[in-house]
């Protein structure tokens, strides 16, 4: 077994999720909580929980919005990665859709690898088009990406390996091509 350079990851994995008051009779692992519907004493209690959830506080409002098990996993990933926070998505497609919605605006352009997962291709043709976001598909190996970059290109989306075909894009070469185009055109 290879030794990690930072042994703290092993400690984090074995300790995360335990409360500071851990002791005899306390579960070692966070319990698995499965829920969909959350009950409230009143409509006002629900509204207050939703207000808290809109900010940094976590509150149970509906199963799809998170539960103690999901929160524990988010915390563990954040701790292991040294991240400020982590978002969990039920599918990769949901994560890709959120990424597009977060970083692209009407009038923007995105380049998407030709070997993209089929549902992401459909997402581009439906959702991106509906939001007036332009897109082009580039060769799976990234060879033609530089010629497709426009002044309004805001993102280049790669899946490595490519879906179904397992095409491998040379990411360092892709970055070099983008940087070369950025310095020549001033886009970026």
Instruction: Output DSSP code: residue 125.
Output: I
Task: Find the helix or strand (DSSP H, E) in which 130 lies.
Answer: helix 129-130
Q: Which residues pair with 156 in a beta bridge?
A: 111
CATH number at residue 108: 3.40.640.10
CA distance 99 to 167: 22
d(CA 188, CA 41): 51
Considering the domain architecture, whether residues 78 and 101 belong to the same structural domain is answered as no
* Domain membership of residue 110 as a residue range: 92-185
100 with 141, same domain?
A: yes
Token output for 124: 């581009």
Residues 45 and 96 in one domain: no
User: Which residues lie below 8 Å from residue 152, measured CB to CB, with a gap of 6+?
Assistant: 107, 108, 109, 134, 187
Q: State the pLDDT at residue 188.
A: 44
CA–CA dist 177, 123 (Å, integer) = 26
In a domain, 21, yes or no: no
Q: Write the pLDDT tens digit of every residue in 105-139.
A: 999 999 999 999 999 999 999 999 999 999 999 98
- The Cα–Cα gap between 165 and 115 comes to 7
Q: Domain total for the chain? A: 2
Tell me whether residue 14 is in a domain.
no
Whether residue 79 is found in the same domain as residue 97: no
Is the pTM higher than 0.85? The answer reads no
- Position 13 in a domain: no
């Amino acid at each position: 077994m290879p030794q990690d350079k930072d042994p703290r990851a092993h400690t984090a994995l074995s300790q995360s999720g335990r409360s500071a008051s851990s002791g005899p009779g306390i579960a070692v692992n966070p319990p698995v909580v499965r829920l969909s519907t959350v009950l409230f004493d009143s409509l006002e209690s629900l509204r207050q929980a939703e207000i808290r959830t809109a900010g940094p506080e976590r509150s149970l409002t509906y199963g799809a919005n998170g539960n103690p098990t999901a929160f524990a996993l988010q915390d563990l990933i954040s701790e292991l990665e040294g991240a400020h926070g982590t978002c969990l998505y039920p599918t990769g497609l949901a994560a890709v859709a959120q990424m597009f919605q977060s970083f692209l605006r009407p009038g923007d352009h995105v380049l998407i690898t030709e070997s993209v997962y089929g549902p992401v291709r459909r997402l581009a043709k439906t959702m991106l088009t509906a939001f007036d976001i332009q897109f082009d598909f580039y060769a799976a190996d990234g060879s033609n990406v530089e010629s497709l970059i426009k002044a309004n290109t805001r993102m280049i989306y790669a899946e490595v390996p490519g879906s179904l075909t397992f095409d491998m894009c040379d990411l360092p070469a892709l970055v070099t091509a983008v940087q070369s185009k950025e310095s020549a055109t001033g886009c970026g």
